[in-house]
Chain A
Amino acid sequence: MSKAVSALGGVSHKGFVEVSEAGLQGMITVRGDLASAKMKKAVKAATGTAVPEARRIVIAGDKAAAWMSPDELLIMVPYTEALATVAALEEALAGEHHIVADVSDARAMFRIKGAKASQALLKLCPVDFETLAEGEIRRTRAAQVAAALWKSAEDEFSLVSFRSAAGYVFGALEVSARTGSEPFPA
C-alpha cells in the first residue's frame, strides 16, 4: 500500500486554528434500505455502530458510520481495511437490493483544530454552527465545492471533499484560518 498517497500528502497550516489534510481514510458508500435487518447487521459488523439516524454520524474508535441521505451511508474505516470491509459489506447485504462502492481514493479529508475551529469554517460554509447538533454531519458546500463536515472531537472538526478539489479546499481553509482574521476575536 506504500504506493498509495493522499491528495496533498498531509499538508498543514497553523493560523488561529490549525488546518491539515488528514491523510488516507477508508470510505465506503453504502446504499440500500437503511431500516433493514441485514443493513443493521452489516453496519454493526463493519463499524461496530448502529445505523445512524438521519443526519447523524456515529463514531466508534477509528471507525464511523454517517447518514448521507435516506438511502445512503458513508462507512469510515482505516484505509488499509477498506477492501476487506467492502467485501464484508457485499457479503452481508447479498440478496438485498444495495450498492457498495469503495470511495476511499475519491475523497480528501481535513481536520480543523482549535477552540475557534468553527470560526474558520463559517467563512466558507452557509451553516449555522451554533445550532449544529453534537454528532450531526452536515453536507453543504465549502466555498464553491461540495463538502461534508462534523465535529469529530472537542475543538476539532473534520471535513470531507472530493479528492480533485483538495488543493482548492485546503487553500480556502488556509486563508480562512489566518492569524488575526477570526470573526469573533474576544
Chain B
Amino acid sequence: MLTLECPYCGVKAEETELQAGGEAHLKRYGPGSTDEEFDSYMFSRKNPKGVHFERWRHAYGCGKWFLAARCTATLEVFGTYSAQTKEPPADMQAKIKAKRPNWEGYK
C-alpha cells in the first residue's frame, strides 16, 4: 500500500486516503476530432513496466487532484506535482532520466 505526498497540502497520505485516477497528461479530444484522436483520448492507455505518470486525488484530505511519477515495477516514487500542467515538470523529467537512463520520456 503506497504513500504519496500531496503537493497541495503537504500531507504524506497513504493509499486509503487517496483515489486513483489513471494515466496523467491525456489530451482531451471533443467534437470535430477524428476517430483515431478520440480513440487515443478515450481508450488507449499506457501500461509500462517502469516509469509511469498518474493522476491521484487526495480524496480524504484537501480534495485536490495531483500527479505522481512512479515506477510501476519497484513502486519508487520520483515525485508528485501539480495537476495544472500539460506535461511533467522539466526538473522531474531530469531527475527520472538520471535514475533511469533507459527511460524513453513521458510521451
Which residues on A are within 8 Å of B, measured CB to CB? 54-55, 68-70, 72, 126, 138-141, 146
Which residues on B are within 8 Å of A, measured CB to CB? 8-11, 13-14, 16-17, 60-64
Residue from the list B9, B14, B62 in contact with A126, Cβ < 8 A:
B14
Q: Is the interface of A mostly helix, strand, loop or mixed?
A: strand
User: B63 to A69, Cβ gap below 8 A?
Assistant: yes
A-B residue pairs, 5 tightest by C-beta: A69-B62, A141-B60, A139-B61, A126-B14, A70-B8
Q: What are 15 of the A-B contact pairs (CB < 8 Å)?
A: A54-B9, A54-B10, A55-B11, A68-B62, A69-B8, A69-B64, A70-B62, A72-B62, A126-B13, A126-B14, A138-B11, A139-B11, A139-B60, A140-B13, A146-B60
Once the chains are docked, how many angstroms separate the CA of A52 from the CA of B63?
A: 18
User: B17 to A126, Cβ gap below 8 A?
Assistant: yes
User: A140 to B17, Cβ gap below 8 A?
Assistant: yes
User: B9 to A55, Cβ gap below 8 A?
Assistant: yes
User: B17 to A55, Cβ gap below 8 A?
Assistant: no
With both beta carbons as reference points, the residue of chain A lying nearest to B61 in the complex is identified as A139
